[in-house]
Amino acid sequence: MNKKMPNAFLSIVFLFAVTVCSYSQTHDFSLVGYATENGGTTGGTGGTEVTVTTFSDLKKYAETKDTKYIIKVSGVIIGLGSIVNKDYVGSIKVASNKTIIGIGDKAFLDGVGFTIKDAKNIIIQNIKFSLVSIGKAIPAGSEDIPKIYSKLGDEGRPQILVNSGDLISIYGVSTNIWIDHCEFFEEDPYVQKNQDLYDGLVDVKDNSGYITISWCYFHDHHKCSLIGSSDKDLFSDRKITFHHNYYKTIQERVPLYRGGTAHIFNNYAYDIYGGIVNSRVNACVRVEKNYFEKCKNTVYSKNSKISGSAERIDNKEVDCINREEYPATCTVAIPYDYSKSINNKTDDVKSIVTAYAGVGKLK
């Protein structure tokens, strides 16, 4: 019998425990980023706690003004009405001072989108979103269905109109919003090739800012996040942090950013075949310690007469093709402390983000 085996075995166990412990300490799920500025973001903290299982109840509590609510979403919630009867309703206008959080890993807003207009102090966490069920319910060759479907859309292609085609649309004067550990998806863009059938996964427009989008899983879509609706939509306080998000099989807009500043750190992007960070019209974005794999045009500036710029810091590119040049350099002064959140080893970002981004992973 080998008497050294027990000690060797204990050494292996010890090393494994140290590795696991060290690995578990490389991430921090607390709020960090621009949503901590401008007075901070607390959502419905201190308000009434309710659990919802239906669209009607979710809409009632989420749209109630001047009242703090912590709204817990249980299970799958779909919109009201039907495509056949042309009375489908799937949009919820979220009012200020709300926390909307999914229970466990089953909270799914199926065919339901959030609109945040002229609202502030909102937290959305641990929820899956998609409008795919609506897209698949539209009859082949269908004519226009008011507020639900347009045969020609804005660009001559069919378009879903529910919630303007977005999963989350933030506009007007909306500030201090935290979107965390959510999942957003539509259809495989290699198969469903109409880039306009669905619009954005999370779009931000007008005078909206002080937003953090963290630990979310975005996948299977054409146009991920439009920040600024046009080259004239330029808000100086458009400040958004994107960190530890997982982007997979998306054409572009990860994000498309016009005006203002952004901090994009520790994200993992895989199979982004059109372009990742597109900084346009005087935007200045810090792109820091991200892991880009099998992607095209990682950081660039295209399609606007006035270019944007970027501060690129220690990003990793694996099997990426940059047909567009990197944009001009700039410097972003980060006002918040993110030292406990950032993973200093860019090589670790892929494994950490794929393990912890998305629903059911808050702990």
Residue 361 is predicted with a pLDDT of 95
Q: Distance between CA atoms of 283 and 237, rounded to whole angstroms?
A: 11
DSSP state of 212: E
The Cα-based distances of 232 to 192, 207, 224, 241, 259 in angstroms read 31, 12, 20, 22, 9
**What does the pLDDT read at residue 24?**
42
The CATH T-level fold of domain 50-356 is Pectate Lyase C-like (2.160.20)
Question: What span, in angstroms and rounded, lies between the C-alpha atoms of 78 and 59?
Answer: 11
Q: What is the pLDDT of residue 28?
A: 80
Mean pLDDT of all residues in 87-106: 98
Q: Hey, which bits of 162-289 come out as E strands?
A: 168-171, 175-180, 183-185, 202-204, 209-214, 217-223, 226-227, 239-243, 246-252, 256-258, 261-265, 268-272, 277-280, 284-288
pLDDT of residue 14: 40
Q: Please give the pLDDT value at position 56.
A: 98
> Max CA-CA distance within the chain?
80
User: Does residue 280 carry a catalytic annotation?
Assistant: no
Could you give the dihedral angle defined by the CA atoms of residues 81, 85, 87 and 90, in that order, rounded to the nearest 10 degrees?
A: 50
**Amino acid 323: pLDDT:** 96
Q: What would the mean pLDDT of 138-162 be, rounded to a whole number?
A: 95
pLDDT for the residue 8: 46
> For position 61, what pLDDT does the model report?
98
pLDDT at position 19 is 40
- pLDDT per residue as tens digits for the range 304-341: 999 999 999 999 999 999 999 999 999 999 999 999 99
pLDDT band at 167 (very low <50, low <70, confident <90, very high): very high
Identify the residue with better confidence: 89 or 141: 89
Q: Is the pLDDT of residue 206 over 70?
A: yes
Cα(258)–Cα(235) distance, rounded to whole angstroms? 9
Per-residue confidence band for 363, with pLDDT thresholds at 50, 70 and 90: confident
Q: What are phi and psi of 135, to 5 degrees?
A: -60, -40
Average pLDDT taken over every residue of the chain: 93
Is pTM beyond 0.85? Reply is yes
Please pick, among 157, 238, 253, 286, the residue that the annotation labels catalytic: 253
Q: Residues near 184 by Cβ (< 8 Å), separated by ≥ 6?
A: 128, 129, 130, 167, 168, 201, 202, 216, 217, 218, 219, 221
116: β partners: 170
Give the pLDDT band of residue 58 (cuts 50, 70, 90).
very high
Predicted pLDDT of residue 1: 43
248-306 pLDDT per residue, tens: 999 999 999 999 999 999 999 999 999 999 999 999 999 999 999 999 999 999 999 99
d(CA 40, CA 289): 25
